[in-house]
Amino acid sequence: MSAKPKPADKASLEDARAEHARLGAEIAEHDRRYHGEDAPSISDADYDALRRRYVALEEAHPELAGADSQSRKVGSAPSEKFAKVRHAIPMLSLGNIFADEEVEEFCARVRRFLGLGAEAELAVTAEPKIDGLSCSLRYERGKLVQAATRGDGYEGENVTANALTVSTIPKILHGAPDIFEARGEVYMAHEDFAALNARQQAAGKPTFANPRNAAAGSLRQLDPSVTAARPLRFFAYAWGEFSAPFAKSQSEAMAAFRRFGLPVNPLTRLCKTPAEMLAHFHAIEAQRATLGYDIDGVVYKVDELALQERLGFVSRSPRWATAHKFPAERAITILNDIEINVGRTGALTPLAKLKPVTVGGVVVSNATLHNEDEIARLDVRVGDTVVVQRAGDVIPQILEVIHDKRPPGAKAFVFPQDAAGQFVCPVCGSAALREIDEKTGATDVVRRCTGRLVCAAQAVEGLKHFASRNAFDIEGLGDKQIELFFNEGLIRIAADIFTLEKRDGQGRPRLAEWEGFGEVSARNLFAAIAARRAIEANRFLYALGVRHIGETNARRLARHFPDFKELRKAAHADDAAQTLSAIEGIGPVVAESVVDFFAEPHNEAPLNALLDEVTVTPMPAVESGHPLAGKTIVFTGSLERMSRDEAKAFAERLGAKVSGSISAKTDLVVAGPGAGSKLNKARELGVETIDEEEWLRRAGRS
Ligand code: IVH
């Protein structure tokens, strides 16, 4: 892309008149779809390109610009495509297992957490894992009132109009609670997928790589009539909010779903032992090719809902369920080249450029090689014949090299070096080092560029992360746009995003005149940026891209420090690392990383500039004001009615913090038999001490 406006037209009047008339009709039709039906069939950028060409023709031939010219008309433009829906109960994901042995381990983990003896029964359901996209359907008094995609798990897109066109999604439920959210997978069956692609091809339109992409593309259509023409289907397997209980177990819930009228997968089974789970897994695997829709594994769920409740969640996945994935698909191809990518944290990642090959229905031309050690382990060289594997959404991997097929003269790969033989970053030329862990003395597997913000690659990747969905989520500011603005020198640090509009047109054409933009996309982009000037603390922290601060740690820190300024102050204090690692879930490595980030002089000015532009708001509370919320609890001695892990998880769910050591900040000590020195210390400090029975009572579990 370039920042230059398109050149003026050179066509003859006759040609120009014909083209002008054609474009005028096209623009009128797009306007009608956009403003009248909220259902454009082309991108904003393509629309703007049409308009620009139209105006250029008029400029070259002013006689074309009559009273009814489209250039005299303007419409109002909605800024967002789909409205957002906040999920009252988050839509989370599942942990994975791959090997048969892990089934037993999963059950053992569950038993350990619940403190179940070997004699106690643990029933688990097993059902196909549908390869589609998840969707939450909200029914009020039996009527479908809203459908939402998963989005980032907390906020999805409102796709109600589209869901109403899916024939297997019931519009009315019978006997369901007054408020009831059914969750499940929207997917496309193989036969429908083949027919759709044939239609696309016949119409000269792009085809879809696989049924999941086709389903996602179809559900997320702005024009519901397009969705209606794409035969989607639905299986329900979970639920969100509900106003009255409807089952005591997962299997009862599925039976209730059927009675309500929801489609439930017929291969769902209740298993009593790991052996039964595995048998069902292999039975489903054997039918995979003939099911008529894509599945990528089997989902196991602890059957009893009371146990699910006790098991709860860890980070974004339930402890009570897991996905047992089928082995990934493989293919053989040639390694054409190895490129080095520089990531946000400076990690140099080798990327294999492959001769394109189809793996499980998807064309693959890139694979990750992870790091230097992996290249050495595989002994892979440019020109080699390699086996690639693709599992679900993850970037394909090179599994092995077929050494017999190595071409003569193939050379071992070395990371970029300067003239003196020192390893350097291929983007900025700074030294690229493998750090040595101070404690263990081990060398990090990752080689990192030391250039930080000096390195264009790190800066750009940091900005992409900043604007990405789970961070600032700025619509219209995707990876491509960030790269463009960065290369044009318009955005160098995050704060620049927020001054973009103010600086628009200074010393260069206005954004609306750039190729690939236009009035509509420029206006929408500025509106999307303005909409993010107030941002929740957890998103803000995550967006900063501090090493080791993913979404979960960002939430932990934001919960502890609702005011971002307090966190910054704490991170600058002498005992910062200690204070931070006292926060539940924050370990010393993470604490150190936060301290380093705030201590780094290079980060100071960009952060201040950013805080001049945006307001950081407290993270919305998830907890319900339970009396234990905000309290710091220490468990000591043995507990009889729940495992230590469960007690801890339970306390956290109520909003309490669990600490391992007693200090003046401890609010409550739960002491079981065998509590020793901690109990004495608690007494010395005058901290309230209770037994397990009392704990269960206060936690609402007795
Ligand atoms: S249960 C809280 N059951 O897999 C857990 N998920 O990798 C709720 N999926 O986001 C999910 N088939 O989109 C569940 N039978 C099934 C599923 C299933 C497909 C998807 C779902 C989820 C993803 C997690």
State whether 191 and 265 are in the same domain: yes
Question: Which of the following is catalytic: 4, 10, 81, 129?
Answer: 129
Integer Cα distance of 47 and 34 in angstroms: 10
User: What number does the ligand 1 atom closest to the CA of 128 have?
Assistant: 15
Let me know if residue 486 belongs to a domain.
yes
What's the gap in Å between 185 CA and the centre of ligand 1? 8
What's the gap in Å between 152 CA and the centre of ligand 1? 14
Let me know if residue 545 belongs to a domain.
yes
Query: How many CB atoms within 10 Å of residue 120?
Result: 9
Residue 302 and residue 311 in contact, taking contact as beta carbons nearer than 8 Å:
yes
- Nearest CA-CA partner of 221 in 372, 400, 38: 38
For 431, left (φ over 0), alpha (ψ -120 to 50), or beta? Answer: beta
Which of 567, 589, 617 is the last residue before a domain boundary? Answer: 617
Let me know if residue 433 belongs to a domain.
no
Residue 470 and residue 152 in contact, taking contact as beta carbons nearer than 8 Å:
yes
| CATH number of the domain bearing residue 398 | 2.40.50.140
State whether 668 and 534 are in the same domain: no
State whether 338 and 317 are in the same domain: no
Residue whose CA is closest, atom 23 of ligand 1? Answer: 93
Where does residue 190 rank: exposed (0-12), middle (13-18), buried (19+ CB within 10 A)? middle
State whether 108 and 60 are in the same domain: no
Q: Tell me which long-range contacts 169-172 makes (C-beta under 8 A, separation of at least 24).
A: 169/137, 169/144, 169/234, 170/144, 170/260, 170/261, 170/262, 171/143, 171/144, 172/142, 172/143, 172/144, 172/261
Let me know if residue 450 belongs to a domain.
no
> What confidence score (pLDDT) does residue 426 get?
95
Task: List residues bridging with 182 in a β-sheet.
Answer: 137, 239
Indicate yes or no: pTM above 0.75: no
- Nearest CA-CA partner of 445 in 377, 520, 517, 344: 377
Q: How confident is the model at residue 1 (pLDDT cuts 50, 70, 90)?
A: very low
Integer Cα distance of 292 and 308 in angstroms: 31
State whether 129 and 223 are in the same domain: yes
Single-letter residue type at 360:
G
What's the gap in Å between 326 CA and the centre of ligand 1? 15
Region 231-247: mean pLDDT is: 97
| CATH number of the domain bearing residue 660 | 3.40.50.10190
Indicate the SS3 state at residue 123. Answer: coil
- Nearest CA-CA partner of 169 in 154, 157, 177, 159: 159
Q: How many domains are contained in the chain?
A: 5
Residue 165 and residue 220 in contact, taking contact as beta carbons nearer than 8 Å:
no
State whether 350 and 205 are in the same domain: no
- Nearest CA-CA partner of 20 in 75, 61, 74: 61
CA distances from 455 to 347, 424, 428, 431, 507 (A): 12, 11, 5, 11, 26
Helix (H) or strand (E) holding 607: helix 601-613
Hey, which of 137, 183, 299 would you mutate to test ligand 1's pocket, going by the most ligand atoms within 8 Å of its Cβ?
299
Query: Which value, to the nearest 10 degrees, does the dihedral of the CA atoms of residues 191, 193, 196, 202 take?
Result: -90
Q: How confident is the model at residue 38 (pLDDT cuts 50, 70, 90)?
A: very low
| CATH number of the domain bearing residue 188 | 3.30.470.30
pLDDT of residue 87 exceeding 90: yes
Per-range mean pLDDT, top range of 55-59, 291-295, 618-622: 291-295
| CATH number of the domain bearing residue 526 | 1.10.150.20
Q: What single-letter DSSP state applies at residue 33?
A: I
Q: Is the CB of 237 under 6 A from ligand 1?
A: yes
Hey, which of 89, 134, 300, 313 would you mutate to test ligand 1's pocket, going by the most ligand atoms within 8 Å of its Cβ?
134
Let me know if residue 436 belongs to a domain.
no
Let me know if residue 425 belongs to a domain.
no
pLDDT of residue 48 exceeding 70: no
What's the gap in Å between 93 CA and the centre of ligand 1? 6
What's the gap in Å between 148 CA and the centre of ligand 1? 15
| 202-219 confidence digits (pLDDT tens) | 988 888 878 998 999 999
State whether 587 and 508 are in the same domain: yes
Q: Is the CB of 658 under 6 A from ligand 1?
A: no
The per-residue DSSP string of 389-420 comes to EE-TTSPPEEEEE-GGGPPTTPPBP---B-TT
Q: Is the CB of 89 under 6 A from ligand 1?
A: no
State whether 592 and 664 are in the same domain: no
| 143-197 confidence digits (pLDDT tens) | 999 999 998 888 899 999 999 999 999 999 999 999 999 999 999 999 999 999 9
Region 220-248: mean pLDDT is: 94
- Top pLDDT among 249 and 577 is at 249
> What confidence score (pLDDT) does residue 132 get?
95
- Top pLDDT among 453 and 2 is at 453
- Top pLDDT among 118 and 320 is at 320
What's the gap in Å between 309 CA and the centre of ligand 1? 17
Integer Cα distance of 688 and 367 in angstroms: 57
Region 565-579: mean pLDDT is: 92
- Residues of the chain with pLDDT > 90, as a percent, come to 64
| 521-552 confidence digits (pLDDT tens) | 999 999 999 999 999 999 999 999 999 999 88
State whether 548 and 601 are in the same domain: yes
Let me know if residue 495 belongs to a domain.
yes
| 271-294 confidence digits (pLDDT tens) | 999 999 999 999 999 999 899 999
State whether 378 and 507 are in the same domain: no
φ and ψ at 694, to 5 degrees? -65, -40
pLDDT of residue 24 exceeding 80: yes
| 470-502 confidence digits (pLDDT tens) | 899 999 999 999 999 999 999 999 999 999 999
Q: Is the CB of 324 under 6 A from ligand 1?
A: no
Which of 272, 301, 325 is the last residue before a domain boundary? Answer: 325
For 163, left (φ over 0), alpha (ψ -120 to 50), or beta? Answer: alpha
Q: Is the CB of 317 under 6 A from ligand 1?
A: no
Residue whose CA is closest, atom 12 of ligand 1? Answer: 129
Let me know if residue 88 belongs to a domain.
no
Q: Is the CB of 561 under 6 A from ligand 1?
A: no
Q: For this structure, is 129 an active site residue?
A: yes
State whether 391 and 261 are in the same domain: no
> What confidence score (pLDDT) does residue 79 get?
28
Residue 14 belongs to what domain range? 8-73
Average pLDDT value for the chain: 89
| 575-603 confidence digits (pLDDT tens) | 998 999 988 889 888 999 999 999 988 89
> What confidence score (pLDDT) does residue 670 get?
92
User: What number does the ligand 1 atom closest to the CA of 127 have?
Assistant: 15
User: What number does the ligand 1 atom closest to the CA of 92 have?
Assistant: 2
State whether 61 and 122 are in the same domain: no
Which of 73, 105, 123 is the last residue before a domain boundary? Answer: 73
